[in-house]
Structure 1
Amino acid sequence: MTDTAKDWSPGAYDRFRDVRLRPALDLLARLARPKGPVVDLGCGSGAAGPALRALAGQARLTGLDSSPAMLVKAEATGAYDALEQADIALWQPEVPPALIFSNAALHWLGGHATLLPRLAGLLAPGGTLAVQVPHQNNAPSHRIWHSLVEEHFPGRFDPATAPGIERPATYHAMLSPLGQLDLWEVDYYQVLPKAEEGHPVRLFTQSTFARPVLDSLPEDEQAQLVALYDEVIEAAYPRSADGSVLFPFRRLFFTLRPRA
């Protein structure tokens, strides 16, 4: 997680822990055991910590995040040898890692053309940069937040500041000259369970993508926007008879092993 106007809510984020964790596990399944220190970059609440611990073996595992609340949760997993509160864009490891693993964090930072080569350059020789980021901004789940805030509260939020990523071809052009690149996308057809209050897709996105949108408004207007979103999102993601929702969600992955 990265710096935002307010600290993250681990409880809201972990409401959908299983579907958020699956891409991390899928990325880990592509990786060999690292021969040196491992860094969980943007570790959040530490959901991937136990699986990273299993992959790392006896190697030192460090979790890094900007959110104090998330780091408290990560510490409770017992998976990490160390936890650091730091800004990913400025972070500099004391010892070059054999693996930098980042799940659903780097889309919160801009300047990927500078950031990603810098992260790759921090690796030990033979090391791997492994990244997963959401690629969902063009889907109704995300576009509707922006269209509603612009319609009802114009000028209050700048969509250019929203978390997001480049096109896959851009990452290929950016990273393939650096070394061995494996780049892929997956559409996850997630089933979100019935919510006691509100639409499940709203609850999923409100705790992540919509945070900057809502933070731009006072509490009363936040409530108005949430109610509007609940009304509109039903047509895009209808609830089934049991109240659950099928929610397609696209994610982009890559692993990079820089040349020596």
Structure 2
Amino acid sequence: MPAAAPTWDPAQYLRHAGHRARPFTDLLARVPDLPGAPARIADLGCGPGNLTALLAARWPTARITGYDNSPEMLDKAHADHEGPTPGGGRLDFGHADVRTWTPDEPHDLIVSNATLQWVPGHAERLADWVAGLKPGGTLAFQVPGNFDAPSHRLMRELAGSPRRRGRLDGTLRHADAVLTPGAYHERLTSLGCTADVWETTYLHLLQGEDPVLDWVKGTGLRPVLTALADDLEEREAFLAEYRAALREAYPAGPHGTPFPFRRVFAVARKESR
């Protein structure tokens, strides 16, 4: 049986908003000029909308729609960011499943930040999204490439222990979550795009007590927290074991806790006609 979709907590996710924003700004910096004015832009997996708002800063006249399937995230986005933008554009948010979403009109830019790793088979959707771009339009996305890092490996080991295997089977993904940079490049160029694909490992210096646990509580740990939501004793036992393992894997230093995080980026420009 497939695992239940994770329940999201916008407040927890935003606790590390500054660190989480940097890959998105680095991605946008490589997006070329867009063909339309005003541009039509979609943000797939917009979360609480704080990063979607950066699109309006880059393209002030654009019509921008952020899509997500989390009611909690969308409520936060609607409340904090929806409406006319200072440059004369418009920022809206809507419910959509990235597994099936297809543009209903030609887009100048389709962007996705740290979302596609949650979408099984997302590489098969790239062709639909490129097809939905205007000539000269861009598909840009960023995904975590840290599934072999201790933060994820330890989580999988605990979830796969004999004590929890039956309860948490299929909750966490690994090998099929994202492709290699080379595989993304091959797929995008085969679709007729000029592709720019790269990877970066950020060394975040996190503050506070158990900051790596605090980080993953907002993202990668959500499926486990959702699966154990009706068993608080087991949930706390899992967190206690995981907390101890993370403290050993990511020891605090004199200035904070170093947290390496590898990410894979792709910017694909559709051929102009």
Structure 2 length normalisation: TM-score?
A: 0.87
Bigger shift: 74-83 or 225-234? 74-83
Match of 1:134 among 144, 148, 171: 144
2:194 aligns to what? 180
* Cα distance in 1 for residues equivalent to 2:74 and 2:33: 25
Match of 1:88 among 89, 93, 98: 98
* Cα distance in 2 for residues equivalent to 1:236 and 1:176: 39
Match of 2:166 among 138, 155, 159: 155
Task: Sort the Cα spacing of 1:112 and 1:92 in 2 relative to 1 into closer, same or farther, 3 A.
Answer: closer
Any residues of structure 2 matched to 1:1-260 within 5 Å, and which? Answer: 5-34=5-34, 35=36, 36-75=39-78, 76-78=80-82, 80-151=90-161, 152-158=163-169, 161-162=172-173, 164-178=177-191, 179-195=193-209, 199-217=210-228, 218-241=231-254, 244-259=256-271
**3-state DSSP class of the match of 1:202?**
helix
CA contact (8 A) 2:42 2:111 kept: yes
Task: Sort the Cα spacing of 1:9 and 1:55 in 2 relative to 1 into closer, same or farther, 3 A.
Answer: same
CA contact (8 A) 1:146 1:159 kept: no
Measured after TM superposition, the shift of residue 55 of structure 1 is 1.6
Measured after TM superposition, the shift of residue 89 of structure 1 is 1.6
Q: CA RMSD in A?
A: 1.9
**3-state DSSP class of the match of 2:50?**
coil
CA contact (8 A) 2:159 2:169 kept: no
Measured after TM superposition, the shift of residue 203 of structure 1 is 1.1
Q: Which amino acid aligns with 1:214?
A: L
Runs of 4+ in structure 1 over 4 Å off: none
Measured after TM superposition, the shift of residue 169 of structure 1 is 2.1
CA contact (8 A) 1:135 1:251 kept: yes
* Cα distance in 1 for residues equivalent to 2:4 and 2:167: 16
Measured after TM superposition, the shift of residue 172 of structure 1 is 2.2
Q: Which amino acid aligns with 1:29?
A: A
* Identity %, equivalent residues: 39
Alpha-carbon deviations, 1:93-130, whole Å to 9, x = none? 33211000111111100113311222111111211000
CA contact (8 A) 1:162 1:212 kept: no
* Cα distance in 2 for residues equivalent to 1:204 and 1:61: 28
Alpha-carbon deviations, 1:202-247, whole Å to 9, x = none? 11112211111232332221110100011111121001246x2110
Alpha-carbon deviations, 1:237-260, whole Å to 9, x = none? 001246x21100000000111335
Q: Which amino acid aligns with 1:236?
A: A
Residue-pair matches, total: 254
5+ residue gaps, structure 1, are: none
* Cα distance in 2 for residues equivalent to 1:158 and 1:42: 25
CA contact (8 A) 1:162 1:209 kept: no
Task: Sort the Cα spacing of 1:96 and 1:21 in 2 relative to 1 into closer, same or farther, 3 A.
Answer: same
* Cα distance in 2 for residues equivalent to 1:82 and 1:154: 41
* Cα distance in 1 for residues equivalent to 2:59 and 2:42: 10
Q: Which amino acid aligns with 1:231?
A: A
Structure 1 length normalisation: TM-score?
A: 0.91
Alpha-carbon deviations, 1:157-184, whole Å to 9, x = none? 2358526212222212222211111100
Bigger shift: 218-227 or 14-23? 218-227
Q: Which amino acid aligns with 2:167?
A: R
Alpha-carbon deviations, 1:174-196, whole Å to 9, x = none? 2221111110000000011113x
